[in-house]
Structure 1
Amino acid sequence: MNSSKLTKERSNRISAAIFMAPAIIFMIFLIGIPLIQVIWDSFHAKSLTNPTLNGFVGLDNFKKVFSDTLFVNNLKNTVVWTVLSVVGELLLGLTVGIALNQKIRGRTAFRSMIIVPWIVPIAVAGLTWTWMLNPDYGIINYLLVKTGFIEQSVYWLGNKTTALLTVTLINIWRTFPYWVISILAGLQSIPDDLYEAASIDGASIIHRFFNVTLPGLKNVVTTLIFMHIVWTSVNFDFIWITTEGGPNYASETLPIMIYRYAMKNYDIGKSSALSVVLIIILLSIFVCVPAYRFIKKKMDEVRVNG
């Protein structure tokens, strides 16, 4: 009996491995080999315009990246861009998601329309916002001047103090529908009985939100936050389409810097080194956060038991 059970388990594992093999092979060629190539190039001199420039240089590429006067500025821009985008998407996604989960007239139509910013191609969205924010003929400046919010047109994407924040707001507008859809799905999984019980106990809307809604959305929100930290921090196309990292590097992030190293300076070694640095930064976040939560949990258990 046990032998038959073991044989069946072994057969299931073999079948699972066979079905997973194409996907694993695809991921190896799509991600694994390019990643190994990037790590390899980061320790070598490599140029697109000078084939004779090659050979192992150790940590020299990393030293050049860290000594670049723009590295700290671009790292700061990356952090600001990522944090503000994720926080803005979270707050807006929660607000709209909860609102669209209520029994209101036209809820289906609103749910259908909310996805529009997400499905619009990035190139189209970026160019459209660039035109709308143009200081000469943009509708945004026209409306702000007419309503008295500003006295004269502002070059939002061409001003050093407003470029990064403006691109961040545009990114929030485009991405928050994804949060809304995911949060709506999470809200459907919360039993109505919990809300009814909380209401009977006299819990206010705020108490129900913090004690029923948020705990029920914990897994969904945590997954979204981690996903969008990665997606936003490595985002290239949206910033490039709107500002190209300008003016004067005011909105340049690490992905834009990697592109500049590779496609403007043709220095594959430095671009690969900076790519490895960005990977290490993201990996450290995903390792340190779970590690901190695990250690904190163990310390709380010791404190309770002690």
Structure 2
Amino acid sequence: METKKKLDSKKNSKQEFRFSLLMLLPALLFLFVLIGYPLGKVIYDSFFNVHLINDEISGFAYFDNFSKVMRDERFLPALINTCIWTIASVCGEYIIGLGSAILLNKKFYGRTFFRIATFIPWLVPIIVAGMTWSWMLNPDYGIVNYALSKIGIIESPINFLGDPKYALGTVIFVNIWRSFPYFTISFLAALQTIPESLYEAVSIDGGGKVRQFLHVTLPQLKSTSIIIIFMHLIWTAINFDFIWVMTQGGPNYATQTLPLLIYRYSMQKFDVGAASALSTLLMISMTICFVIYLKIKNKSDDNA
């Protein structure tokens, strides 16, 4: 009797598995067409000579595409710019997002309005935000230079996006302005789940606001911080459209990052093999970041 029940249970489990697989099949097929095939094609093309215009350039290239990319004089500056762009953006977004979340979590008159206003930059499309800031920062008619001149901070207009000294920092600043609301939303949601009893316990022990922040707020936000930091590290590193809209990698390649270099290989030099090789290298880097994130998160969950 027990043997028959076990057999029936196994049969039902197999039927449930087949039914679940059948229901998931359209989604799996969609993911394969949308992500799987293009990803495999990029990795495949990275080992071949592929040119968009010249069909005579073909054949197995071994690791020549990777060697070509890494020997390119633009590769190292683009790599450095990518690291600066990514780390500075995420650090700025984290600090401003955390600070604004703590302020918006307090009770004050007009809090709802300020919460809504804080989220507006995140809702603005990247192209609209980039073009608007480009106009605002224009040295001839931009409102930023006009305001700074009126206040007396500068004597003559600054070409924020046209001067290599200011271009990368300016793009990073605008990116922080647009992206920090995502951190604010995440931290604000997490702050509202922290029990007030924890703050009261620290207060009873004689702890002030700083101690409450260090011993209650930050530890309680650890899990949220890990998730959004690694998400934004990956998102920012592979971001293409924001820099392209504002500077197109200029002036004199001062804001060129690896995604922009991939675009130049594929759409300007028509060298798909080199573009695929650089994309594969970038994908490997992002995969390493994701593995590190999983290890840190699992360790954090175990400790919790």
Tell me the TM-score normalized by structure 2.
0.92
| Alignment of 1:278 onto 2:278 | no
Report the counterpart of residue 170 of structure 1 in structure 2. 174
From the superposition, tell whether residues 13 and 100 of structure 1 become closer, same or farther in structure 2 (CA, over 3 Å).
Answer: farther
Pairwise CA distance, 1:291: 5.3
Question: Which of 230, 239, 244 is equivalent to 1:235?
Answer: 239
Distance in 2 separating the partners of 1:215 and 1:135: 45
Pairwise CA distance, 1:9: 5.1
Report the counterpart of residue 210 of structure 1 in structure 2. 214
Which letter maps to 1:84? Answer: A
Distance in 1 separating the partners of 2:205 and 2:272: 63
Pairwise CA distance, 1:218: 1.1
Which letter maps to 1:41? Answer: D
Tell me the SS of whatever aligns to 1:115.
Answer: helix
Greater Cα offset, 284-293 or 131-140 = 284-293
Distance in 2 separating the partners of 1:54 and 1:64: 16
Report the counterpart of residue 39 of structure 2 in structure 1. 35
From the superposition, tell whether residues 19 and 109 of structure 1 become closer, same or farther in structure 2 (CA, over 3 Å).
Answer: farther
Write the mapping of 1:36-55 to structure 2, written as runs, cut at 5 A: 36-55=40-59
What 5-or-longer segments of structure 2 have no aligned partner?
none
Pairwise CA distance, 1:284: 2.2
Distance in 1 separating the partners of 2:15 and 2:118: 46
Report the counterpart of residue 132 of structure 2 in structure 1. 128
Tell me the SS of whatever aligns to 1:162.
Answer: helix
Write the mapping of 1:109-120 to structure 2, written as runs, cut at 5 A: 109-120=113-124
From the superposition, tell whether residues 172 and 56 of structure 1 become closer, same or farther in structure 2 (CA, over 3 Å).
Answer: same
What 5-or-longer segments of structure 1 have no aligned partner?
299-306
Distance in 1 separating the partners of 2:12 and 2:157: 72
| Alignment of 1:137 onto 2:146 | no
Question: Which of 222, 230, 245 is equivalent to 2:226?
Answer: 222
Tell me the SS of whatever aligns to 1:198.
Answer: helix
Distance in 2 separating the partners of 1:216 and 1:12: 39
Distance in 1 separating the partners of 2:193 and 2:298: 27
Distance in 2 separating the partners of 1:294 and 1:125: 37
Which letter maps to 2:191? Answer: L
Report the counterpart of residue 302 of structure 1 in structure 2. none
Pairwise CA distance, 1:203: 1.7
Report the counterpart of residue 257 of structure 2 in structure 1. 253
Question: Which of 80, 84, 103 is equivalent to 1:80?
Answer: 84
Which letter maps to 2:230? Answer: F
Which letter maps to 2:155? Answer: E
Distance in 2 separating the partners of 1:44 and 1:262: 14
Q: CA RMSD in A?
A: 2.3
Deviations 1:255-293 (A, max 9, x none): 000000000101100000000011112222333465589
Tell me the TM-score normalized by structure 1.
0.91
